[in-house]
Amino acid sequence: MENMMKTDQWQEDAQEEIAEAESDPQEETECHILLPLLNTPFVPGHCLEAVETIKDPKDHDIAMGEYYYFTGHPEEAVKAMEPYLANEDTALRLSACLVYAYANLATGDIRLARHALSEIEKTFDDVSKEADASRERKALVTFAAAMAAVLLHLPLKSDRAFSEEKLMLLPPGLRFFACYVQAHHAYLQGQYERSLGNVEMALAFQPQLYPIPTIYLRLVAVMDYMALKQSEKAKEQMLIAWELARPDGLIEAFGEHHGLLGGVLEATLKKDWPKEFKQIISITYNFSGGWRKVHNPDTGHDVADNLTTTEFAVAMLTARGWTYQEISSHMGISIHTVKFHMGTVIGKLGLEKKSDLKKYMLR
């Protein structure tokens, strides 16, 4: 199995950067880092050590909040981010609002999630109007606004789209995550080959291993391959992402990507990692429940909220034209079981025909 992220050279590069950070006692400055953990390279299994290399105490607090979130502990993430929601520093405030918004989706507090999302929008609008705002600062607020919109499957306004110039103004880790946001947006538009191209380009030019952005890039590739009915390639990408995430327990991303990812999770992780699979399913229920409470009212779509993850996965594939035999082979369950799940789906949603499924499914 090809795995470009696991080369010895990249691991050596990540270790060198961590060592440099440890040996460089920089003074605290007013210029902070947006999502510092996401923007930090590290060797899988050493995520907490990477957090400890961040010397600025405020950036360290934010990085710990990210760690809580990405390891599936949203309550701790909320507490870590609360002190920074109104901070005067743009990077600290946006970091806190981004993590706080998604963590509150997982905890079910939609009011607080919406508050954080509105603060991101306000910051974007304010900085966009500043005549003396630097190009780098404008790129950061564009990144935050695009991330907030795309990952909630909300319409992406033209002024929040990433140009090549803005992309290159971001630090490396954020640049790779911005590539993921672009790939996810292309996926939502049904441009699966383009999305895969964005993923492949980002991974090919990644100079060292940034595990968190890379996990997200691989997971959008899973969804692309599933949409293209290339289930074996989807499973391969899933296992690559899992090997990056598993040593540090970075399971949140797997729970966030509900829908087409669900069937691949069952096919690849359920048997060999049952405990972790259950944790991911729990994250999926909690996160998707909060996600729908923002997504459905804001878009007018009625994505189903009363299906189990297995039922949703079967329904997603059926809505995309997969036959019961194809679903059976992919998920490793019998055709009888597939039909049983579809019968339950039709009953829960009150459908008269299978073609009505599409309006209740994610794109």
> Would you say residue 25 has pLDDT above 90?
no
Over 50: is that where the pLDDT of 14 sits?
no
What per-residue confidence (pLDDT) applies to 164? 79
Residue with the larger pLDDT of the pair 68 and 259: 68
The residues, ordered by sequence, that sit 6+ positions from 123 with a Cβ below 8 Å of its Cβ are 90, 93, 94, 97, 141, 144
For the stretch 130-173, pLDDT in tens is: 988 888 999 999 999 998 888 877 777 777 777 778 888 899 99
pLDDT at position 349: 73
Q: Is the dihedral of CA 217, 222, 223, 225 positive or negative?
A: positive
Mind listing the pLDDT tens digit for each residue in 236-263?
999 999 999 999 999 999 988 766 677 7
Residue 37 DSSP one-character state = T
pLDDT over 80 at 205, yes or no:
yes
3-state helix vs strand vs coil in the chain, percent to 5: 70, 0, 30
Going by pLDDT thresholds of 50, 70 and 90, the confidence category of residue 334 is confident
In this prediction, residue 177 carries a pLDDT of 94
Q: 73 — phi, psi (to 5°)? A: -125, 75
Mean pLDDT, residues 75-86 taken together? 97
- pLDDT for the residue numbered 300: 45
Burial 60-79 (b: 16+ CB within 10 A, else e): bbbbbbbbbbbbbbbebbbe
pLDDT value, residue 316: 74
